Amino acid sequence: MQQPLFPALPHMGHGADYNPDQWLDRPDILEQDIELMKESHVNCVSLGIFAWAALEPQEGEYHFEWLEQMVNRLYQNGIYTLLATPSGAIPIWLARKYPEVRRVSREKVRDEPHGRHNHCYTSPVYREKVRLLNTALSQRLGKHPGVIAWHISNEYGGECYCPLCAAAFREWLKEKYGTIEKLNAAWWTSFWSRRYSSFEEVEPPYAQGENCVHGLKLDWKRFVTRQTEDFARHEKAAVRAGGSDLPVTINMMTAYDGLNYFKFKDVVDFTSWDAYPCWHGEQDDVSLAQYTAFIHDGIRSIKRGQPFVLMESTPSMTNWQRVSKLKRPGMHMLSSMQAVAHGADSVQYFQWRKGRGSFEKLHGAVVSHDCRSDTRVFKDVAAVGRRLSGLDAVCGSPVKAQAAVIFDTENRWAIDMAAGPRNCGKHYLETCMQHHRALWEMGVTTDVIDMECDLTGYKLVAAPMLYLLRGGIAEKLRRFVSEGGTLVGTYWSGVTDENDLCFLGDWPGDGLASVYGIRAEEIDALYDGECNHMESCGHALLRHERYKLTELCERIHPQGAQVLARYAEDFYAGEPALTVNRFGEGNAYYLAAKAGMKFYRDFYHALVEQAGVDGARLGELPSGVVVSKRRGDEADYLFVQNWNATPASFELPERLADLETGKPVHGELTLEPYGFRILCRKH
């Protein structure tokens, strides 16, 4: 069922971070903002993100009039507000009066008052000040008809090593383990005499402290997520206490590995994220588009299928990347529409207008210092707004995936901290992206999920390098396959349990070996530039005879599985490199080594056919042209995207209609450089 995110705004959102608190002495600018917003088809803004000092210039002295006036004026002009809680930047009076609100680094140095995103999530003073302010804000504006959602704080992240956080960590551990003996066992502290006699002896992993006990490091990261999530709940509760029940979001950051975002699933009512790909940079645009698609799919999957918001993106350039390149003509439209194609119901920017001073004065914005609307950037933005306003049919439509790639944050932490087998790079993220890329190129809608996600409804699940298996996961995968699912596992799976203790017995552990019908004996690491190959045993699944292998090659033994390809070189030449095991009603594939895109393309092409996985399916598309699908009540909307800087043409295998013109489309379709079309396939 199609359901818009915001009942008051049943259209695609288009807007930006708006910081009028920087311009309160310039009513002319504020007037002009409204006019220019209308001209660029902006219908929503994120307001007050860093406005704490303007809202509470002195302790307990609230100044909400200016904000209320802004919300009113925007609303009168048809522009809705995503109201921010301003906790992302601490006012100087607060940082000075209550040092405990300032973060302490891993080196145990407390911050001086400065910048932003540097508060302690544990500090009772900080929590209380945020509570009071959020509740007051909510009382004042939480029921305003122009406010449609809460933008809670800004890009939660970072860690604090202050005594309050250390004490909270110990409390959390006590709750988790109950006794110090259990903690010692879980952390394997008999190694190097790291045994604790009491919880009081446990310290966070300071820079000069304990960094070899993996259980400690893993639990610290889990604690940081828990503490941040708890803080987000605290902010939300304060907003609710003020009487507002509007939906809440937090703006997340790309593949940020400091937090396990899936743990925020029940805190947020919808997800949103900030996307800043370096287009036309060191990485080719097609690869970068796939990376961005991977993140879109991951953020959407936190609230499976539900639309999300692209909360920030730059209308032109950033100012913090190594080289700040302008977006080439077409790219702004295409990258904005890519978000919509993957499920976004709003495209928003950082920021509306460039400030005159400080760190972000040269960062791209919709309105530059020339205050004009006849600029290239402004016109590009207005064009996106115009096209979004024609996409009501798509608004609220879910993205339904029958394929999923497991990219699990805790697993990522564990793989990254493990010493061996390839400390120059095990490349977990990149590997998950390769599996996703093959599906993305084919137009197969794919979720990017956490290992704890429900697998119901998926026909194909790729679980590359599932090194750390939390309790119950192996069982879930076993059930998925036995009930008919297709599972793809790889080398370096089922190595440790949730405490990062290696499984005893056959690997992949916790019983997964029997699902794959193999056992893994040892893993060979290759230097950069070194390779091996696998040779097909002639199975129809593989179109080519030989595929290159790099980085990690596992030696496995079939225990019931059929061998599909074998290593071609080295002392393990002839041994299995790819297997399949019929397990119950399903199939479990095991790839023993890191392959390249040639393999993944062939392999997933065959698997998608075999497992009958739904996709956009527009036949063979030229390289760099992809299609993503949203499922509306009446039609599927196919977003055909050309990520090449050159035009691309191909033959459409069916008659479709252009969503925007309503005209039929068939035969040869040509897309401009960085062009796209939205085609309807009626149900």
**So which residues are the catalytic ones?**
155, 312
When binding is defined by CB under 6 A, the residue of 350, 407, 428, 503 that contacts ligand GAL is 350
Q: Which residue is nearest to ligand GAL (CB)?
A: 350
When binding is defined by CB under 6 A, the residue of 154, 336, 446, 642 that contacts ligand GAL is 154
When binding is defined by CB under 6 A, the residue of 75, 172, 276, 650 that contacts ligand GAL is 276
Report CA-CA distances (Å) from 99 to 123, 164, 274: 10, 12, 30
Applying CB under 6 A, does 21 fall inside the site for ligand GAL?
no
In terms of DSSP bridges, do strands 562-567 and 576-583 run parallel, antiparallel, or are they unpaired? antiparallel
Nearer to ligand GAL, 362 or 429 (CB): 362
When binding is defined by CB under 6 A, the residue of 33, 155, 498, 554 that contacts ligand GAL is 155
Provide CB contacts within 8 A for 218, sequence distance 6+.
410, 413, 414, 417, 499, 500
Nearer to ligand GAL, 184 or 318 (CB): 318
Site for ligand GAL in 473-512 (CB under 6 A): none
Q: What is the dihedral of CA 463, 466, 470, 473, to 10 degrees?
A: 30
Q: Rounded distance, CA 129 to CA 343, Å?
A: 36
Applying CB under 6 A, does 118 fall inside the site for ligand GAL?
no
Axis crossing angle, helix 163-177 with helix 180-187, rounded to the nearest 10: 90
Smallest distance, Å, CB 313 to ligand GAL? 9
**With contacts defined by CB under 6 A, how many residues of the chain interact with ligand GAL?**
9
Q: Which contiguous run of DSSP H or E holds residue 149? A: strand 147-151
Nearer to ligand GAL, 155 or 447 (CB): 155
Provide CB contacts within 8 A for 516, sequence distance 6+.
489, 508, 561, 579, 581, 588, 589, 590
Nearer to ligand GAL, 191 or 320 (CB): 320
Q: Rounded distance, CA 315 to CA 331, Å?
A: 10
Smallest distance, Å, CB 115 to ligand GAL? 11
Q: Which amino acid is residue 463, in one-letter code?
A: A
Do the Cβ atoms of 606 and 536 come closer than 8 Å?
no
Q: Helix, strand or coil for residue 36?
A: helix
Do the Cβ atoms of 113 and 95 come closer than 8 Å?
yes
Site for ligand GAL in 576-635 (CB under 6 A): none
Q: Rounded distance, CA 90 to CA 56, Å?
A: 11
Residue 392, Cβ neighbours under 10 Å: how many? 12
Smallest distance, Å, CB 332 to ligand GAL? 15
Q: Sign of the C-alpha dihedral, residues 292, 297, 302, 307?
A: positive
Nearer to ligand GAL, 225 or 313 (CB): 313
Nearer to ligand GAL, 313 or 402 (CB): 313
Applying CB under 6 A, does 254 fall inside the site for ligand GAL?
no
H helical segments located in 517-559: none
SS3 of 629-655: the string is: EEECCCEEEEEEEECCCCCEEEECCCC
Do the Cβ atoms of 618 and 627 come closer than 8 Å?
yes
* Contact letters for ligand GAL, residues 182-221 (x by CB under 6 A): ----------------------------------------
Q: Rounded distance, CA 507 to CA 661, Å?
A: 56
Smallest distance, Å, CB 312 to ligand GAL? 6
Q: Rounded distance, CA 256 to CA 233, Å?
A: 20
Q: Rounded distance, CA 399 to CA 403, Å?
A: 12
Nearer to ligand GAL, 154 or 644 (CB): 154
The C-alpha angle with vertex 503 and arms to 213 and 584, in degrees rounded to 5, equals 145
Applying CB under 6 A, does 274 fall inside the site for ligand GAL?
yes
Nearer to ligand GAL, 153 or 446 (CB): 153
Smallest distance, Å, CB 360 to ligand GAL? 6
Smallest distance, Å, CB 559 to ligand GAL? 49
Site for ligand GAL in 299-318 (CB under 6 A): 312, 318
* Contact letters for ligand GAL, residues 357-396 (x by CB under 6 A): ---x--x---------------------------------
Partnered with residue 102 across adjacent β-strands are 119
Smallest distance, Å, CB 415 to ligand GAL? 26
Nearer to ligand GAL, 121 or 590 (CB): 121
Q: Which residues bind ligand GAL (CB under 6 A)?
A: 154-155, 274, 276, 312, 318, 350, 360, 363
